[in-house]
Amino acid sequence: MPSWVTSASSRSWMKSLRHLVVLSSLCCFISGYSDKDRVRELMSKYPLIDGHNDLALQLRKLHNNRLSKMDLHNVSKLATDINRLQAGQVQTQMFAVYVMCGAQEKDAVRLALEQIDVVRRMCTEYQEFELVTSTQELKNYESSRKIACLISLEGGHAIDSSLPALRMFYQLGVRSMALTHTCNTPWAESSSKLYNIYQRQNDSLTNFGKAVVEEMNRLGMIVDLSHTSWETAWAALKHSKAPVIFSHSSSFSICNHERNVPDWLLQELKKKQGLIMVNLHSKFISCREEANVSHVADHFDHIKRLIGAESIGIGGDYEGAVSFPRGLEDVSKYPALILELLRRNWTDNELADVLRRNFLRVFEGVEMVRDQLNRTRPSEIQISLEEVQNQCRLVLRPPDKRGQVDRSGTSRPRQETKLLLILSIVLLLSSLLMFE
């Protein structure tokens, strides 16, 4: 066939295609079907699974966890309430159980239990919420008007370096745990240098830390790498048998904040079939106090080019962060982000992945590994006292027959004997000096 015939055919095909695009746009204009309508339809079909929200933290700060003192349908002081979650098409919310790093070596476990209690109460006392613990339950409520509640533990210091404590948290409904928060644990390293505790050299995930990851795999608990150092994240990625997530982190290439994820680590995440759920906090988005929806979309675009839309989710970090981009001030504004991505030529299929399907795939992968390990016995590995260095840990032993054991594990009569001995030596030395 002559080349001019092929060229003419190509020109004719391109002309027909342009006519089709114009006709399609004209039909949309005539019918009144806008991009916003397309977003609304897409999010109705694939409602959002949001990877991180700190509402429980604010319930403690503002009301000391007294749910009777507030109405979660409308909370003016916060960015999250039931009405706005529904307006933002948030069908599943991962609620973080956050315990401040100052509680490490003290009452972190108790505080975590209290925060789990308030999340469970919140998600059972309000009919709009439903507490869920599996992918099957998530799918069961996908088409309902209820908001599914998942519980995540934000910071491994909340388990007090105890695998039995980790297992009990799972029994209470926890399905994800971040290995660190802004402090190191005795077994994992944080991205933050705020606290000068448990400093180690070239040991970002210790043998006990690897045991934590293994036990999370066995239980079916998602390993969350947000807040960990890059070295800890890399070690956990290599060691975990199941996919992992960054529940609320963004791209370091776009904003070079320590909480964001560099490209080389994103590529390792893709190999693990894991997920980065983009954080909307302005400082992580623009590296400034102010940002806008376009800045957020830049993170999505970069990560998609690098590892594909199938590795991306959304983890807003509302109630945990202090400033959010213009147009994304609260949880009702999620459609504005999807609209911006749509206008940047993201396909409906890619957005369906980001909104929902990627997280379900990862959670299913975690449960699949759990099922493969169902004959593995619970780990009995214990961390050494030298690694923990916690004076509040009591070494179990029978009480001294001569007196009660105090909190340090040392009997009071034994302490008194030492004091009397020291006093006797001082008196003896004093008398010798007098004779001289």
Neighbours of 353 (CB within 10 A): 23
Contact 313, 358 (CB under 8 A): yes
Active-site option among 81, 130, 157, 181 = 181
Active-site option among 105, 189, 248, 340 = 248
Active-site option among 52, 157, 281, 295 = 52
Nearby residues of 435 by Cβ (< 8 Å), 6 or more positions away: none
Active-site option among 50, 105, 160, 227 = 227
What is the rounded CA–CA span in Å between residue 317 and residue 128? 21
Distances (CA, A) of 263 to 149, 166, 205, 268, 300: 31, 31, 21, 9, 13
Is 35 annotated as catalytic?
no
What is the rounded CA–CA span in Å between residue 329 and residue 62? 20
- Strand 147-154 vs strand 174-178: parallel, antiparallel, or unpaired? parallel
What is the rounded CA–CA span in Å between residue 124 and residue 119? 9
Contact 154, 104 (CB under 8 A): no
* Amino acid letter, 28: C
What is the rounded CA–CA span in Å between residue 236 and residue 244? 9
Is 54 annotated as catalytic?
yes
**And the tokens for 172?**
């209470």
Active-site option among 50, 54, 189, 224 = 54
What is the rounded CA–CA span in Å between residue 166 and residue 415? 36
Is 154 annotated as catalytic?
yes
Active-site option among 81, 105, 224, 317 = 317
> What stretches of 111-171 adopt beta strand conformation (E)?
129-131, 147-154
Is 227 annotated as catalytic?
yes
- Give the bridge partners for 205, in sequence order: 188
Active-site option among 50, 105, 154, 214 = 154
Is 317 annotated as catalytic?
yes
Query: Which residue numbers are catalytic?
Result: 52, 54, 154, 181, 227, 248, 317
